[in-house]
Structures are given as C-alpha cells and as structure tokens.
Amino acid sequence: MTAQSQHASNVNILLIEDDPEIAQLLKVELGDAGYTVEWASSGMEGLVSLREKSPQLVILDLGLPDMDGAEVARRIKQHGDLPIIVLTATDAVERKVQLLLGGADDYLTKPFHPAELLARIQVQLRKGEGGEVRRIGELEVDVGARRLRHKGVEIQLSPKEFALMELLSSRPGRVFSRDEIERHIWGQPLKSGSNVVDVHIANLRSKLRDVGAYGYLRTVRGVGYALRQPKG
Ligand code: CA
C-alpha cells in the first residue's frame, strides 16, 4: 500500500447530520465499507470535530437545527480544502447550483441509496489524489508536488524526509510506531538499535524550527511519532 492511495481504512469521514436514524444507518454503511466515521448532530458540533479529528471528507446535511448548512460548508472550506458532499431534502435546481457555487463538491437528494453515497465518496477521494494538499495548522504537505510549506515558505526536504512527512500527515494526530515508519519508508524494519528514524525526525524538527514551525512533531516515548496541529 502506498501513502498516496486512499484506502478506506485510512480515511476519516465527518458526518454532520441531525437525524439520528439517518446518521446511524450511514455510520453502519460507511463503517462496513472500511471508513472511520465521526458523527456530529449539529453544525457547531461538526465544526468542533473538524478541528479535532482532521477528517478527509465531510458529509453535510443541509437542514441542521442550529446553523444554515451552506454556512457550515463555507466555514469548512475556510478551514481546509477537503471535499464536502451535501445531503439535501430539496430537489430545487436553484438551491443545488447555489450549493455547488458555495463550495460543496457534490450533493445527494434525500432519500438516496447508501451505495450511491459510497460511490460519490470514492469519486471525491480519487479527485484528491495526485493533487492532494494536506493542511495541518500552517503546514502544507503538497503530496502531488512533493513539497512542504509553512505559511507559504517552502522547506527543503530530502526524499526520505518528505516520505516521513507524507506518512505522518496521512493521519494527523495518529502515532506511528518506529516499526511502521521503517517498513513504510525503507520497505522493511531496520536493524534493531538503529536510530535512523530518530535522526530523520530530529532533522525534520530542526528544519521546521528554522522557519518558525514549532510543536508539529510529537514524540511519544516508547511508542512513536505523530504530526499534529500545535496547541494554542
Ligand atoms: Ca436534517
């Protein structure tokens, strides 16, 4: 498996839907397809989850109790360029055009078959491949161009350092073990006692520090490493 391919098990989906029955159904269907689903039952809750869970895709019901769905979509796009599939109860063409112009990537009219939603999800995730840019705080991991930027300033990385950033940014916040990192980047576990991973992490951290990017690389002693948005 390569880091660029979007395996379902690697993909977090945020579902913003106030109807518990629909939410439950979709959670089961998407879960069966291998996706990790975070459910938020209001717009505000959804926006909080967006920051905490760093999903790769959002499914957004338009009719929410607390906020206009279109406003939620706008705020999601402000946070990062991730695909939004809108669920709408209306068939009105005007409303759909408005939605697409407002930043939604696709929409489905209720009621729909879960298989259709799954197909739409795959299309959106495939679109993101190649040209994918992952944003973690002020960092931009440009997977297609294999470049790393902080506040628009490019950070020169070796191919191995970029591969490390690519791996860690595939699941922000998740701790990757040394073994996983070695297998992913070198294709096999390295000799026991090797400190190659630590050296690469230290180099990366110092390059990030040079451009004022602090607190992104987290070491969990005895467990591994994670990339995350710095606190505060
Ligand atoms: Ca609703």
Number of folded domains that form the chain:
2
CATH no. for residue 75?
A: 3.40.50.2300
pLDDT of 6 higher than 50 = no
For 74-78, the CB contacts below 8 A with 24+ separation are 74/102, 74/103, 75/47, 76/46, 76/47, 76/50, 76/103, 77/103
62 shares a domain with 145: no
Q: How far is the CA of 95 from the centre of ligand 1 (A)?
A: 16
196 shares a domain with 98: no
pLDDT of 80 higher than 90 = no
Q: How far is the CA of 57 from the centre of ligand 1 (A)?
A: 19
Q: How far is the CA of 72 from the centre of ligand 1 (A)?
A: 13
151 occurs within a structural domain: yes
Q: How far is the CA of 35 from the centre of ligand 1 (A)?
A: 22
Query: Domain of 213?
Result: 133-227
In a 13 Å sphere around the CA of 40, the CA atoms on its Cβ side amount to 28
Q: How far is the CA of 40 from the centre of ligand 1 (A)?
A: 12
147 shares a domain with 108: no
184 shares a domain with 93: no
111 shares a domain with 27: yes
Q: What is the pTM of this model?
A: 0.56
Q: How far is the CA of 17 from the centre of ligand 1 (A)?
A: 6
Would the CA dihedral through 18, 19, 22, 27 be positive or negative? positive
217 shares a domain with 160: yes
Q: How far is the CA of 10 from the centre of ligand 1 (A)?
A: 28
220 occurs within a structural domain: yes
pLDDT of 30 higher than 50 = yes
164 shares a domain with 53: no
Q: How far is the CA of 16 from the centre of ligand 1 (A)?
A: 9
pLDDT value at residue 2: 37
Yes or no: say if 223 and 175 are a contact pair by the CB < 8 Å rule: yes
Q: How far is the CA of 60 from the centre of ligand 1 (A)?
A: 9
Confidence class of residue 9 from pLDDT cuts 50, 70 and 90?
low
146 occurs within a structural domain: yes
Q: How far is the CA of 76 from the centre of ligand 1 (A)?
A: 18
Q: What is the mean pLDDT of the chain?
A: 87
Determine the 3-state secondary structure of 156 from DSSP. Answer: coil
Question: Rounded to whole angstroms, how far apart are CA atoms 34 and 14?
Answer: 14
Summarised one tens digit per residue, pLDDT across range 149-172 is 999 899 999 888 988 999 999 999
- What is the rounded average pLDDT of the residues 201-213? 96
175 occurs within a structural domain: yes
232 occurs within a structural domain: no
Q: How far is the CA of 26 from the centre of ligand 1 (A)?
A: 14
48 occurs within a structural domain: yes
206 shares a domain with 142: yes
217 shares a domain with 197: yes
